[in-house]
Structures are given as structure tokens and as C-alpha cells.
Amino acid sequence: MANLRAALILRGAGSLVGVARRLHRAVLGDRPFVSLGPDQRGEQALDWAVNGMLCVDARGLPRDIRAVIANLRTPDRRVRLVACADSAESVAELATMISRIVTISIPPLTERADEIERLLEAYGWDAVEELGASCLGFWPGDLELVRAGGIATLDEIEDAARRLVALRNWGVTGGAERLWLTHGALSRWARRQGIPTSRDGVCPRRRSPRPRGRIATT
């Protein structure tokens, strides 16, 4: 996919856009990443995604998807295509338009029960980098409380980890600002999960180093 020899299919539960974005960062770094919705114009998205990655949902392809695919690899664009799908059936239409595809199947969290807390921590370290936080800062019991609250997809793990990092670094008010949420939205989420909060956060100002050898977030 990175070398423009094939389109990539991500197959699993949820939207998987977060997974696609992580693969993009690992493979393409700071090049453009564009998520194309079914009602958006593909031609414009291709211009935004030049030399980068375009992500579509195979269950709701844009109307001009054929034109998009035909213009992915022109010399002035060179765009990689990633499609998210939940089944082989949802990929069928797309597969008829592309000469070569490769698939990564992501097992459901019901088959990864022993990994959920490690995944939350791994996504938490991603959030530390993304939000410019000082440290991970999870309190003892935080991960167990989030897990007990019910998590069904990787998107939900990502969201929970980001909220925890924001809470533990800046408290409810500052954390909500970092996440572009209202104070009430973050406070209600923490209350539903049974997570205790702090007014100002608990992490020091000095940034902690990221640990090596993390579990893969996909």
C-alpha cells in the first residue's frame, strides 16, 4: 500500500478510521491523511490527499468512487487508498474496481479480553504525544473502571484513553478544553465510568519519556 502497489482493506468492527490514521503515521508520517465520506466530492479529497492517504468506508462509498480510483496514482497525486469494512460483503463493490487489494483483519475485542488494559495504555501514550501531555498519569484502578464500563471497539478504546490522559494532566476543565469538549460532557463521562477526577490534574510539567516495546494498537 505504501508503495502504491495495492489498496489496503481494514476489516473489523467499528469505523477503523483511527486504525487507518495510526498506520498512516507509522508509514507516511506527516503527509496528508484524508477521510472521505459518502456525501463528499472525491476529486477535492484527492487534491487534499496528494502524496498521502485517502480513507473511505466500504459500506458507504462516495458516488464518484470510480473517478477517485482512476485518479489515485497520477504523477501529480500518488495517493494511497485505505478502505474500512466490517465484512467481505461490504468489500465486494470496491474489489471490482481495484486490480489489487490486501486485507488486514482486526480481531474483535471479545477475542482480546486479556489485552484491553494494555491497549488502553498504548493508546494513552499516543494521546500523550498528540495532546502534548506531561505524562500518562493513570491512577490505580482507572483502566479497570473504563473496562468495566464496557468497551466494544478500538475507537472506543482510543476515545477513553484520550479522555483519561486529558483528565489526569489538566483536570476536568483543562482536559475538556484540550479535547474540544464541554466541561459537562467530560465530567458526565467520568461520572458514568466511576472515575474520580482532580481539579488541576496530577502530572508534573516535565514530559515523561515514552516506553519502548509497546503492544501494537491494532
* CATH at 35: 3.40.50.300
Best mean pLDDT range from 80-84, 91-95, 96-100, 212-216 = 80-84
- Same domain? For 11 and 99 the reply is yes
Average pLDDT over residues 170-189: 93
69: containing domain: 7-106
Q: Is residue 205 scored above 50 in pLDDT?
A: yes
Does 91 lie in the same domain as 122? no
The CA-based dihedral angle spanning residues 83, 85, 90, 92, taken in that order and rounded to the nearest 10 degrees = 40
Distance of CA 148 to the CA centre of its chain: 22
SS3 158: helix
20 within a domain of the structure (yes/no): yes
State yes or no: pLDDT of 76 exceeds 90.
no
Whether the model pTM is above 0.95 = no
Average pLDDT of the residues in 122-150:
90
Whether residues 94 and 176 fall in one domain: no
Confidence of residue 149 (pLDDT cuts 50, 70, 90): confident
| Per-residue confidence (pLDDT) for residue 14, from 0 to 100 | 80
Mean pLDDT of 169-173: 93
Distance CA 174, CA 199 (A): 9
- Average confidence score pLDDT of the chain: 87
* Residue 173: C-alpha distances to residues 19, 140, 167 (Å): 28, 22, 8
